[in-house]
Structure 1
Amino acid sequence: MADILFHISLTVIWIMLLYHMFLAQGGYRHFKRFEKVIPDWQHKMENMDLPTVNVFIPAHNEDVVIKQTLTAMSRLEYPKDKLKVILICDNCSDQTKEIGDQFAADFPFMKVIETEDEYKGKGKSSALNYALKETNGEFIVVYDADNTPQRKALWYLVMGLVNDPRAAAMVGKFRVINAKNTWLTKFINIETICFQWMAQAGRFHWFKIATIPGTNFAIRRSIMEKLGGWDTKALAEDTELTIRVYNLGYHIRFFPAAITWEQEPETLKVWWKQRTRWARGNQYVVLKFIGRIFSMKQKKIAFDIMYFFFTYFLFFFGVILSNVLFVVNLIFDIQLSIGNVAFVLWIMAFLLFVTEIMITLSIEKNQLTLKNMLYIIFMYFTYSQMWIVLVIYALTLEVKRMIKKEDQVWYKTERF
C-alpha cells in the first residue's frame, strides 16, 4: 500500500513538472512574438479618439511608498485630458491623504477620494468598488500603492484593449524593485519572473488564458459594471475576477510591454502573511467555482480552475505524501521499496525544476547569471519547501473559516 501511495504522489509531482515545462515553452514563444503587433497597434492609436481612463490606486496607510507611486503616475504618457488618476484612501490614519492632496494640487488629472459608509475599512475590493461608483472612465487601470509603472505602461495597456475587442482585460508585467535587498527578495524576483513567463505567457500562448494580477492591468468599465464590481469576500480578488470575466465569453491578454516595478516583502513575517492571503484566496476561488465548471460558458476556463485545484490541492498533497512516506520509512519499516528508479526520478525532477527556471530567466535581461543559478538550487531546498508548509496552514485557516462562517479579513502588506 505504501508503495502504491508513493508512486501516486510521484506521478502527481511529475505531471505538474512536465506541465510547467510545457508552459515554459509557450512562454518563450510568446516572448518572441508579442512585440510584433505593436507597430500596427500604435498606428491605430495615433489615428483615433482615445478612450478616457481612470487609474485606481487603493491605499490604506501607505505614506511610506505613496509619494514615489504618485510621482510615477505624474509621468505616465497618456493625454491628460483623457486621464484621471484616483488615489482611494481607505480608512487612512497616516499621511497618505495629505501626500495625495499635494499631488492633486500640482496635477489636475489627479484626485483623492475617501471611502465612506459601507465601503470604508473593508479592504481592497471594497475600495475599488467605491471608486467604480464614483467615476465614469471607459477603461479602468489598477495599480497597487507600492507600484512605479514605466512611462508607457498605461499606454500599452490601453493600446491592447483598443486593438483587441475580444479582450475584457489587458495584463502587464511587474518586476521586483527591491530584488537585491535580501535573500528573500532574490527568491521572490525569480519566482515573479517564472510566474509571468511560465504561468501567464505560457497559458496565454497555448490556451488564450491569463490571470488578472492585483496590479498593472486594465479592464473595460462595461465589463466591471456587468459583473457588479469586485467580490469583497475574496482575498484573491484578482483570480476570482478572472474566472467571472472568462465566463462572460471574453479573454484576458498578457501583454508584457506594459511594465511596472513593485516592492516585495523583505522579511519572512511579512512574506508569510502576504502569501497566506494569496493561498487562501486561490483556495476560496477553487472551492467557489469547482462545482460550476461544467455549466460555465467558456469551457476552457474550467481547465484553469482544475489547474488551480491541481496546484493548491493535488500537487501539494503529492509532495507532502511522498515526503511523509519517505521519513516514516526511515523510522519504521512500512515496506517502502523506493529503489534506484525512484531515486533517479527525484534527481530528474530536481534537474527539470532547475532547467525550467533557467529557460525562463533567459528571457529577462541580466537575470540568467551564475549567482542566480546558485540561488535557484538553494531555492529548491528552502523557499519551495516553505510554500508546502504555507499552503497547509492556509488550507487549515480556510476550512476553519468555512466551518465557522467567518468573514474574510483583508491583510495589507507591510511596506519598507
Structure 2
Amino acid sequence: MLQGIYDYLLMGSLFSIWIVVLINMVLVNSGFISYIKHNKDEKKARVINNPPFVSILVPAHNEAKVIGKTVQSLLSLNYENDRYEIIVVNDNSSDNSAEVLQKIKERNPDRNLIIINTDNVTGGKGKSNALNIGFEQSKGSLIAIYDADNTPERQALYELVYAIQKDNKAGAVIGKFRCRNKNKNLLTRFINLEGIYFQWMAQAGRWQLLKLCTIPGTNFIIRRSILESIGGWDTKAITEDTEISFRIYMMGYHIRFCPYSASWEQEPENIAVWLKQRNRWVKGNYYVLVKNFRYLFNSKAGPVRFDLFYFLSVYVFFLTGAVVSDLIFILSVGGFIETHIMGYSLLIWFMAYVIFILSVLISTSTERGELNASNFGIIIIMYFTYCKLWTFIAVIGFIGFIRDMILKRETKWYKTERFD
C-alpha cells in the first residue's frame, strides 16, 4: 500500500515540476522572438522632443562602498542636465555614506543633486519607506529608480523616457540589469546567467506574449500620476517592485520592456550574503502572492492572472514537487523505500534537465559574449548546485514569511552587503 503512495507522490511531484518547465519553454521561445525583433530595431534613431523633467530616486542604507560610483554614473547620463534631478535618500546609515555624498555634491554645485539624510525615527524602515520620502521631495513628471549599487549605461535613462513617452498605456517601463562583478567567482557567474535567463525569459517572453512585465526594482521609470493615485510604495512589502507592478496593472496600465536600457549592478559574492538577499525576495514574493491571490479568480484582472498563476506554480507547485521528488530519490537510493516507476521518473527528470540547459543557452545567446564554452560548463552544473540552493532558500523563506505574519514583524532594511 505504501509503495503505491510513493509512486503517486513521485508522479505528482514530477507533474508539478513540468508545469513550470512547459511554461518556461513557451516564455523562452517568446523571449527569443522579442530579442530578434529588438535586435533589428536597435540601430533605429530614437529622438525625444521636449524632454520631460525626470526625478531619479536612489534609496541607500550603509552604501558607502558603492554609492559614489552610482551617483557619478547618474551625473554622466546622456540626458539634458537641467531636465533631471537626482535624489539620494541616505536612510539611517551608520557608515560614512553622508560624507561621501556631501563631497560629490560639493564637486557638482551646478547639478540637481539632492541628498536626504534620515535617522532612526524618520527612516530605517525599508526601501519602500525611503522611496516614499524621496518621492515627496521630487518634482518630475516621471520618476526613475536606481539601486545604490547600480552604474547605468549613459543611454539608460534616455531609452526609458523615450519608451514611456511613445506609449500612453505604459504605466512604467523597465530596462535590463546586468551583473558587473560576474567574473568574481562561481557564484557570481551563476547569478549572471540567472539574470540573463530571467530577463529574456520572464520579462521579454511575457512582454512578447502577453504585454506583461514585472518591475525589477532598479532601472525603471514610472509616471508620477500613478504613484500619486496609489499613494506611493507599500511599506509592508519587502519586494516593493513586484507589489507595485500588480497595482499598476489593476489600474489598467501595462509595464513595457525596453532592452536598450541597461544598468550594471553588484551581486552577492558569497553564499551568506546571497542567502540573506534571496530569503528577502522569497518572503516578499509570498507576501505579494497572498495579497493579490483574489485576482486569480477575477476575470477583470487580465494578464495579471498569468503572473499570479506563475507565482503559484513556482512557489507552491514547483517547490513542493522539487522537495518531494528529491526526498523520494534520496530515500529510494538509501534503501528506505521502494518505488516501481523510478526508471520512468529518471527519464522524465532527464528530459526536464535537457530543456533547462537549452533554455539557458538560448537566453545567453541574446547577450554579446555570453554564449561560450565556459558558460556552457557552468550551465551543466547549475541545475545540481545553484538551483538546489534556490529550493532550500524557498523553503526557508516560506517558513520565515509564516513566522513574520504570526508575529506581525515590522518591515526593516534587509541590507545586501557590498564589496569593494
TM score, norm. by length of structure 1: 0.95
Q: Report whether the alignment pairs 1:22 with 2:23.
A: no
Matched position secondary structure for 1:121: coil
Q: CA 1:349–1:188 in 2, change beyond 3 Å: closer, same or farther?
A: same
Letter in 2 for 1:9: S
Aligned positions of 1:121-136 closer than 5 A: 121-136=124-139
- Measured against aligned partners, the alpha-carbon deviations of 1:178-221 in whole angstroms (never above 9, x if no partner) come to 00001110110010110100011111110111010111000001
Tell me which amino acid in the other structure corresponds to 1:205: Q
Aligned to 2:76: 75
- Cα deviations across residues 270-306 of structure 1 (Å, max 9, x unaligned)? 0000000001100111011112433474321012111
CA contact (8 A) 1:69 1:146 kept: yes
Aligned residue in 1 for 2:16: 12
Contact kept? 1:76, 1:151, Cα under 8 Å: yes
Answer whether contact 2:19 2:313 (CA < 8 A) is retained. no
- More displaced 10-residue stretch of structure 1: 211-220 or 9-18: 9-18
**Aligned to 2:259, which of 240, 256, 264?**
256
- Whole-Å Cα distance in 2 between the matches of residues 39 and 359 of structure 1? 23
Amino acid at match of 1:20: N
Return the offset for 1:38.
6.3
Displaced runs of 4 or more, over 6 A: 38-41
**Which residue of 253, 269, 282 corresponds with 2:272?**
269
| Further displaced range: 33-42 or 333-342 | 33-42
In 2: Cα distance, 1:330 partner to 1:35 partner: 48
Paired letter, 2:319: F
For 2:305 and 2:27, the matched residues in 1 are separated by 17
Written as runs of structure 1 = structure 2, the 5 A alignment for 1:33-182 is: 33-34=37-38, 42-43=46-47, 45=48, 48-107=49-108, 108-115=111-118, 119-182=122-185
Deviation of 1:117 after TM superposition, in Å, equals 8.0
1:103, 1:57 → 2: CA distance? 15
Distance 1:163 1:275 in 2: 35
Which residue does the alignment assign to 1:186?
189
The answer to whether the 8 Å contact 1:286/1:309 transfers is: yes
The residue number in structure 2 matching 1:3 is 7
CA RMSD of aligned residues (A): 1.7
Rounded to whole Å, the distance in 2 between the matches of 1:284 and 1:347 is 33
User: Which amino acid in the other structure matches residue 71 of structure 1?
Assistant: Q
> 1:177-216, aligned counterparts within 5 Å?
177-216=180-219
- Contact preservation (8 Å) 1:63, 1:99: yes
CA contact (8 A) 1:35 1:257 kept: no
- After TM superposition, the structure 1 stretch with the greater mean CA deviation from structure 2, 83-92 or 338-347, is 338-347
Within 1, Cα distance between the matches of 2:25 and 2:306? Answer: 17
Contact 1:101 1:111 (8 Å CA) reproduced: no
When normalised by structure 2's length, the TM-score is: 0.95
Given that 2:124 and 2:413 are in contact with CA atoms closer than 8 Å, whether structure 1 keeps it comes out as no
Identify unmatched segments of 5+ residues in structure 2.
none
What is the aligned-residue identity percentage? 41
Count residues with an aligned counterpart.
413
Aligned to 1:392: 395
Helix, strand or coil at the partner of 1:114: strand
The superposition leaves residues 219-269 of structure 1 with CA deviations (integer Å, 9 ceiling, x where unpaired) of: 001011111100111111100011111010000011010010000000110
| Residues 1:162 and 1:36: Cα distance change in structure 2 (over 3 Å) | farther
Distance apart, 1:123 and its partner CA: 1.5
Letter in structure 2 aligned against 1:371: S
